[in-house]
Amino acid sequence: MAATARGADVLIVGGGIIGTLTAIALAGRGVAVRVIERGEPMRESSWAGAGILSPIYPWKYPDALSHLVNRSLALYPALVAELRGASGVDPQYRVSGLIIPVYSAAEWAELAGALPWSQRFGWPARRLDGDQARQVEPCLSERVVGAIDWPQVGQIRNPRLAAAARATAEARGVVFDTGREVTGFAFQGDNGVTVRTASGDLHGSRVLLAAGSWTGGLAERAGFTLPVAPVKGQILLLKTAPGTLTRIVKHDQAYLVPRADGHVLVGATMEMAGFDRRTTLEALHFLSGALLDMAPGLADAEVVRHWMGFRPGTPDGLPYLGPVPGRPGLFVAAGHYRNGVILAPATADAMARMLCGEACPVDLSAFAPERPALAHAALGFPA
């Protein structure tokens, strides 16, 4: 397989962070790569997300995801340096820490798995009382009775990561076929896959489906079922004085992500609303209420922007990574849901290896496209 994949064309359907980083990894192996993107690359979920480099509740996931997260985090610093060097754009990757405030004894019970998980997976973590929590983050509510603090959790700015990744891919010879929508597939056995588009067919010896929330619909057109569906998330952008908040704050259904320049993201709704792109008053109300609950000290922040994006959701919260059974030459890397930016470097590395027939350093069997879903339903689609 290595001999046929190397030097041959790989078509990637979808120019989000998953498709683009995989394209960079393939180009680095000398593979000719074309990314087919129906709009502009990196303008969907990969632009809209909050860029928190930790799953929201990492201890609730199966270990396979934690291993993939740790592998991705290990790849991040070198990847960011590579992107910055090749593109001249700084994605503003930085360690800001993440804190989960606690308001009652019952909430401590819900976090019982957090510290044991942190120890098992090598994430420094500590338990704080309410005063200690307000000492490190003075904006936190007086009602906070304690917190768990992960000082090493990082973040990245999605729009900057997007610009850096696209420019790097282009500098490495990746071709972006923009404004071109994939509408179907034809399988040619050992001769690869034909990809149908409104403006003509394209052929690749390997094809990677990396179309985010739209991958479920494309899978249908390729004759198989993949339960990836959009979970809409709305985000509010605020501006405060730099340093007003330093850590990411996460509580219940919402989070705050402070950027170094004083911007603070308030995210994010979890809506099963199909592909409805509207931002709503209801979400504005929910997000501002969550902000005032968590950090009343930010009440006079300036409102800058309100946007939305579609998380590529799956029933068990895990992505689909691997070859599609019965569809020779077709691979999938989609359904990263709430964790696509964290998982992008490890996904790209694994998929590039797989497409080139190389061994993968992580066990991806938990993410096989044909796995039975719903084993971890609590992490999947919102009720």
Ligand X SMILES: Cc1cc2nc3c(=O)[nH]c(=O)nc-3n(C[C@H](O)[C@H](O)[C@H](O)COP(=O)(O)OP(=O)(O)OC[C@H]3O[C@@H](n4cnc5c(N)ncnc54)[C@H](O)[C@@H]3O)c2cc1C
Token pair for residue 158?
A: 């999605």
10, 25, 50, 350: residue in contact with ligand X (rule CB under 6 A): 50
Q: With CB under 6 A, what is the number of residues at the site for ligand X?
A: 44
Query: What's the closest the beta carbon of residue 219 comes to ligand X, in angstroms?
Result: 11
CA 185 to chain centroid: 26
Query: What's the closest the beta carbon of residue 216 comes to ligand X, in angstroms?
Result: 10
Token pair for residue 176?
A: 């972006």
Choices 86-94, 186-194, 304-312, 360-368; region in contact with ligand X by CB under 6 A:
304-312
218, 219, 228, 348: residue in contact with ligand X (rule CB under 6 A): 218
Choices 88-96, 132-140, 165-173, 339-347; region in contact with ligand X by CB under 6 A:
339-347
Q: Is 34 in the site for ligand X (CB under 6 A)?
A: no
Q: What angle do CA 188, 194, 198 make, to 5 degrees?
A: 150
Q: Is 309 in the site for ligand X (CB under 6 A)?
A: yes
Place of tokens 């149908």: 196
Lay out the site mask for ligand X across 181-200 (x = CB under 6 A, - = otherwise): xx------------------
Residues 219-238 that bind ligand X (CB under 6 A): 233, 235
- 40's CB contacts (< 8 A; 6+ apart) are 15, 178, 179
Residues 319-338 that bind ligand X (CB under 6 A): 334, 336-338
Token pair for residue 380?
A: 């999947």
Residues 344-373 that bind ligand X (CB under 6 A): none
Q: Is 150 in the site for ligand X (CB under 6 A)?
A: no
List % helix, strand, coil for the chain (3-state, nearest 5): 35, 25, 40
How far is the C-alpha of 175 from the C-alpha of 40, rounded, in Å?
13
What is the b/e burial string over 245-264, where b = at least 16 CB atoms within 10 angstroms of the residue's CB? Answer: bbbbbbbeebbbbbbeebbb
Which residues partner with 186 through β-bridges?
Answer: 194
27, 48, 89, 128: residue in contact with ligand X (rule CB under 6 A): 48
Residue numbers at the binding site for ligand X (CB under 6 A): 13-19, 36-39, 43-46, 48-52, 181-182, 210-214, 218, 233, 235, 267-268, 309-312, 334, 336-342
